[in-house]
Copies of this chain bind each other. A is one copy, B any other.
Amino acid sequence: MQATELLTVSEEIITEMPCCIKSDVPLVHRKNNTDKTLINVRGTIIGGDKIIVMAGPCAVESMDQIMATADAVKKEGAAFLRGGAYKPRTSPYSFQGLGIQGLKILAEGRKRCGLPIVTEVVDPQLVDVVSSYADILQVGARNMQNFALLKAVGKCKKPVLLKRGLMSTIQEFLNAAEYILSEGNPNVILCERGIRTFETATRNTLDISAIPILKQQTHLPVFVDPSHATGVRELIIPVSRAAIAAGADGIIVEVHPNPGQALSDGPQSLDLQEFSNFMHSLRPIVFAMDRTL
């Protein structure tokens, strides 16, 4: 009776489910040597010759903080302003971000300095509101296999910066990107940000080999986040130079006007002078790689 009825229905459902229509070749796969996705965000091309630097604080804390950061990173050559309005925090009692007020502050920062903005979305229900402010949506490491969120950003038209999970294989990372592409959004930037290992000298272990592996397997741009990968300010320059030498298309880095006062991630944030040094330090490697900054 009812059982049989339901069974029939469910079989139809399986057959009709669009996400069960497997493409022969995954959408993320690179077809040939020249196959690469270029993403145009307000005139800035991601995935081309220019190394893209995205800079800004871990968390949006105030208008003053964002204005000071926006001016400085723009002046030094950053291409994007980053900052978190919704923060996924290990403890429920840690600062969770300013939410929509944070988005508004970021939009003011963009108006001031002209840089497009990148910010994280943590909930499928917030994709609409975040994408109404942001130029690029970030999906964080802890949400790399939050498939409901991946599907939601896949239905959105804004580009997505997808961070690798702390303990996700490269194959799983590509599958997570495939979720987004399979929903119709082709503009995904992959970001290696360190994996979890036994080593405690750094917050995570940057998987430098992931960069050339991803460049060989997919046409999507590949970025590196040296701030979360190392958790140590002094390592950001050498690790970023290494990332570019390994073939990365961009760097997303934490910059704060006053790291000692940061509400999160202070020890791994560059101050404004350090960010200037950082940009200068990258140039010789960028040029050695026949790229621009």
Using a CB–CB distance below 8 Å, which chain A residues touch chain B? 2-4, 6-7, 9-11, 13-14, 17, 19-23, 61-64, 67, 88-93, 95-96, 98-99, 101-102, 104-105, 108, 122-126, 142-143, 145-149, 165-167, 169-172, 175, 178-179, 182, 195-202, 205-213, 216, 229-230, 232, 234-235, 238-239, 241-247, 284-285, 287-289
Interchain CB contact under 8 A, A88 and B242: no
Q: In the complex, which residue of chain B has the Cβ closest to the Cβ of A67?
A: B3
Residues of chain B with a CB closer than 8 A to A64's CB: 3, 7
Interchain CB contact under 8 A, A245 and B247: no
Q: Of the candidates B17, B101, B169, B242, which one forms a contact with A198 in the assembled complex, judged by CB atoms under 8 Å apart?
A: B169
Residues of chain B with a CB closer than 8 A to A96's CB: 17, 19-20
Q: How far is the CA of A98 from the CA of B9 in the complex (A)?
A: 10
Interchain CB contact under 8 A, A13 and B101: yes
Interchain CB contact under 8 A, B105 and A10: yes
A199 to chain B, nearest CB (A): 6
A16 to chain B, nearest CB (A): 12
Q: How many copies does the complex hold?
A: 4
A148 to chain B, nearest CB (A): 4
The secondary structure that dominates the A interface is helix
Q: In the complex, which residue of chain B has the Cβ closest to the Cβ of A144?
A: B142
Q: How far is the CA of A179 from the CA of B88 in the complex (A)?
A: 11
Interchain CB contact under 8 A, A205 and B207: yes
Residues of chain B with a CB closer than 8 A to A246's CB: 238-239, 241-242
Given contacts A198-B198, A205-B195, A208-B208, contact A99 B13 (CB under 8 A): yes
Q: How far is the CA of A143 from the CA of B143 in the complex (A)?
A: 7
